[in-house]
Amino acid sequence: MSSKQKATQQLKYVILLLLLINHVVCKPVMHTYIDESAPEISYSSYFENWKQAWLGAGWEIKVVSLQDAMINPLYSKFQQRMDEKNLSHSPRHSYMRNLAMSGATKHGGYYSDIFVFPLQKVTSDDIDEEGYIKLPNSGELTFHDGVGGSIVSGNLAAWDRINLYLVDHIEKNAYDSFQKLEKKDGFIHFERNNMLINVFGRHEPGICEKTKSKFVARLHKYDLRIMNVRPMNKKLRDMIIGRWFQFYRQHCWYGVIQSSQLGVPFSDPNVRRRL
């Protein structure tokens, strides 16, 4: 083998090694939207649990903001249309989060509201050769909770496309705008990769089997109402949510807690020590 061939082979090896390193160290990114200029909306109560849950599942997290939305060329037009509809607070933010995803990301990706929690950990099969998370449906916009739109994936073109639609179809909130899209074939893929889990009661023995084909669990206030979860103060609620997802990871992902130990995971002192 000539010195030129050896040099070429070594270069290929270095490139392959760099690609491998990039593949290993890169983690997918889960985005959420927080407008820190809006003190009337409380994000802190769920955010830390949301953050730790996605980090524990192998994701990096990135918070997109109103400043990211303002980068988007459509921002002024959105502002005008929302002013015409007298939208403020949460309804306004429901549109800004989509605009922020277009402004803050170069490739698009995943977005999650802070009441959505992962049920699966990331594997190497979820990452492409360039280190990015693989997007379903060829990168077209996908709602993973049916028509809810609280956990969404799509490439940048998909996020841009939904914003072009929304700016001309402002309703009382983005959820209502999405409902008008439900019957438009191919615009959005509506999939049900979520499930309701009552994390405030006894741990179900078959929970791992029930969740293995689902991506996320939602804990929106309306979901809690459907499950007849009794009202509780935020501190207690957040403690229970955080401990439940720690318990779930230990039991379903790592097998540290066996089925024979299941019960109410927040009252068993042996389980508490493990968490």
Q: What is the pLDDT of residue 46?
A: 78
Distance CA(218)–CA(16), nearest Å, equals 40
Q: What is the pLDDT of residue 186?
A: 64
> Which pair of structure tokens corresponds to residue 106?
């170069």
Q: What is the pLDDT of residue 118?
A: 97
DSSP structure string for 239-268: HHHHHHHHHHIIIIIS--S-GGG-S-TTT-
Question: Of 192, 174, 20, 201, nearest to 101 (Cα)?
Answer: 174
pTM of the predicted model as reported, rounded to 2 decimal places: 0.82
Distance CA(71)–CA(82), nearest Å, equals 17
The alpha carbon dihedral of 200, 201, 205, 210 has a sign of negative
Q: What is the pLDDT of residue 230?
A: 86
Which domains are assigned to the chain?
A: 25-190 (3.90.550), 194-269 (no CATH)
Q: What is the pLDDT of residue 200?
A: 87
The CA–CA distances, whole Å, from 246 to 66, 121, 154, 170 equal: 32, 13, 29, 39
Distance CA(35)–CA(93), nearest Å, equals 8
Distance CA(9)–CA(32), nearest Å, equals 43
Three-state secondary structure call for residue 148: coil
Q: What is the pLDDT of residue 159?
A: 95
Q: What is the pLDDT of residue 120?
A: 96
Distance CA(263)–CA(201), nearest Å, equals 9
Q: What is the pLDDT of residue 25?
A: 47
Distance CA(50)–CA(144), nearest Å, equals 17
Low-confidence ranges of the chain (pLDDT < 50): 14-25, 40, 266-275
